[in-house]
Amino acid sequence: MRTVLSWLKNYKKEAFFAPFFKLTEACFELFVPLVMADIIDRGIAGGDNRLIFLKGAVLVLLAAAGLIVAITAQYFAAKAAVGVSGTLRRRLFSRIMGMEASEVDKNGTSTLITRMTSDINQVQTGINMSLRLLLRSPIIVFGAMIMAFTIDVPSALVFCVTVPILAFVVIGITRYSIPMFSKVQKVLDKVMLSSRENLTGVRVIRAFNLQDDEMRAFTERNDSLKKEQIHASNFTSLTNPVTFIIVNAATMFLIYKGALRINIGSISQGQAVAILNYMSQILVELLKLTNLIVTITKSLASAQRVSSVLGEKEMTAGASEKDSADAAGNTIAPSASGDPFISFDHVSLRYTQGSEEALSDITFSVRKGMSVGIIGGTGSGKSSLVNMIPGMYEAATGRVTVMGEDISHADKVKLRERIGVVPQKAVLFKGTIRSNMLIGNGSATDEEMTDCLRKAQAWDFVSEKGGLDAEVLQNGKNFSGGQRQRLTIARALVRKPEILILDDSTSALDFLTEKNIREEIGKIADTTVFIVSQRASSVMNADMIIVLDDGRIAGIGTHEELLRNCSVYEEIYYSQFERKGGSGT
């Protein structure tokens, strides 16, 4: 929470005035019992109606002044809380956008969504309540105790016993409730994950008639969340009854002690009522404080989760400026003539620490302008390999160099500006064809976008839908799978990349359309193309074919060489083409 609250330095004025005006309100409230005591002792006892009305007017003025400063305090507290949460949300979104693929895999999408929404909302509420009440309640409690001592010391001694006991109860409950609410948020992540999976996979669920199974699974997770929330709430709910018992016991003692003191003439009736009012103020403020403690406890748990994603480096002021400065001074230099354009040197890859290797001892080099086919069975590591070229994942051992520079030390932004990637899953964003194409190249002209759409065999259906201004729904749901793939290929081409990665990006296309796209891409000069596919026809014309089997290279060469020397490639090829003669071609 301390790290998150460091962002309050941008709202110093609001962070000062919110508690200041709340403390002013508290001072007004502390004068109320004294005015009431004066009304009782001098006004009612002496039959002085003028004094009663005068002191009543003072009470009204105190109430009006308290209302004004309370509203002002609320304004400043809300402004600071919303400002900090907005800053955190922007920073967290920026952090997520800058995460490497391995970090996203580690955290999980549902967890990141929960921290962007529920957790930051909890932090916002905690900051708001803290600025308004965290200082006000203790001031009222100790102020009331001090004011009681100014009236009658023997009667006020009960405050010295009551307040420490109440403080011990509140602190004890807070200490044990923070881990409980942290656990609640973790279970909430699982509920979010279940909801997200069901929403994204609703068609699959219906196709396999799994609605009942998914409802049971969601109910189990939801019941688990309910159980944890009830457990945490039951524990924190002990605060109110325990507080009531302690304060009411103290009140009973005050009434008894006050009656004795009045009988012997040590204090007046008004003074006794004032002391009781101060005890009542303490009761009310402690109830507020206990509810505040519960809110702050939730906020602390959420703040820790947000901080764990942002990290200490991300939370320090000026981090973004430092990153920008580093990026400005770290560029990708073109490789020298004769050097490999892309090189893998005994590279292995693990997705998480301690897991099995997804890739093992991968070694090859590629010259500029070559076309490279990558083929292998499902789970052989094809996508893992090409994802290492733009630095989505870093090698566990070995070295990957692109354009002569080790990608572990290269500026990823500069590197990826020169790479066009068409992922396995075609992803389109809500907007228009034009806005999606501009993601690839923000300065592309209409003619360049149209040309790339033609090369990707997409212009026919794009023109029918209205051209570049045709609407694209979320995830491109108003296009078929094959149309989405062609649009993502066009988006990568408009980037004019030096390296083009096609990660099984034509799986939904017919053979003729795929052939036409390959021919158009083959006409692009000085572009190094990686084609990932399970179709032998997609890679057989590549300058070099890499055959993967269970994360290892089973063979490297041309189509003809691999048919002679690589049994894995031969098996894949003849599973798709009829064997003819000895060569199979």
DSSP per-residue string spanning 397-420: EEEEEETTEETTTS-HHHHHTTEE
Mean pLDDT lowest among 111-125, 225-239, 288-302, 531-545: 288-302
In angstroms, rounded to a whole number, what is the distance separating the alpha carbons of residues 282 and 142?
8
Give how far Cα 175 sits from Cα of 165, 172, 219, 236, 304, Å. 16, 5, 31, 10, 15
Handedness of CA 516, 517, 522, 525 (dihedral sign): positive
Whether residue 543 contacts residue 370, with contact meaning beta carbons closer than 8 Å, is answered with yes
CATH topology of domain 425-496: Rossmann fold (3.40.50)
Q: What tokens were used for 169?
A: 């109860």
The mean pLDDT value for 269-282 works out to 80
Q: Do the beta carbons of residue 131 and residue 295 sit within 8 Å?
A: no
Q: What is the mean pLDDT of residues 45-52?
A: 79
- Whether the CB-CB separation of 545 and 517 falls below 8 Å is answered with no
Beta-strand relationship, 499-503 and 419-422: parallel
Is the pLDDT confidence value at 495 over 50? yes
Q: Does domain 9-313 have CATH number 1.20.1560.10?
A: yes
Lowest-pLDDT range of 212-226, 352-366, 449-463: 352-366
Arithmetic mean of pLDDT, 69-74 = 90
C-alpha distances in Å from residue 18, one per residue of 78, 80, 136, 203, 476: 9, 9, 10, 51, 47
Backbone CA torsion sign across 220, 223, 227, 232:
positive
On whether the CB atoms of residues 128 and 78 are closer than 8 A, the answer is yes
Q: How confident is the model at residue 364 (pLDDT cuts 50, 70, 90)?
A: very high
Q: What is the 3-state secondary structure (H, E, C) of 159-227?
A: HHHHHHHHHHHHHHHHHHHHHHHHHHHHHHHHHHHHHHHHHHCHHHHHHCCCHHHHHHHHHHHHHHHHH
Amino acid identity, position 236:
T
Each as own residue / partner, the long-range contacts of residues 472-478 (CB below 8 Å, 24 or more positions apart, any chain) are 472/428, 472/429, 472/430, 472/431, 472/432, 472/433, 472/435, 472/436, 473/430, 474/429, 474/430, 475/427, 475/428, 476/426, 476/427, 476/428
Q: Where are the domains of the chain?
A: 9-313, 425-496
What is the sign of the dihedral through the CA atoms of 479, 482, 484 and 487? negative
In the sheet where 419-422 sits, what is the strand order? 419-422, 499-503, 528-533, 371-376, 544-549, 552-557
Distance CA 258, CA 264 (A): 10
pLDDT of residue 2: 61
pLDDT at 546: 94
Instruction: Indicate if the pLDDT at residue 560 is higher than 80.
Output: yes
Q: Round to whole Å and give the CA distance between 282 and 136.
A: 11
Q: What are the CA-CA distances from residue 433 to residues 122, 359, 467, 502, 509 (Å)? A: 38, 37, 8, 20, 20
Q: Is the pTM of this model over 0.75?
A: no
CB 428 within 8 A of CB 476: yes
Handedness of CA 63, 64, 66, 71 (dihedral sign): positive
> What per-residue confidence (pLDDT) applies to 501?
93
For 150, half-sphere exposure in the C-beta direction (CA atoms, 13 angstrom radius) is 12
Residue 94: its H or E element: helix 49-97
Question: What CA dihedral angle connects 58, 60, 64 and 66, to 10 degrees?
Answer: 70
CA distance 209 to 354: 37
Cα-Cα-Cα-Cα dihedral sign, residues 449, 451, 452, 457: positive
- Residues 441-456: pLDDT tens digits? 889 999 999 999 999 9
**Average pLDDT of every residue of the chain:** 83
Q: How far apart, in whole angstroms, are the C-alpha atoms of residue 301 and residue 296?
A: 9
* Residue 330 predicted with pLDDT over 80: no
Structure confidence by residue, pLDDT tens digits, 163-197: 788 778 877 777 777 778 778 877 887 888 888 78
Nearest to 123 by CA among 295, 313, 247, 255: 295
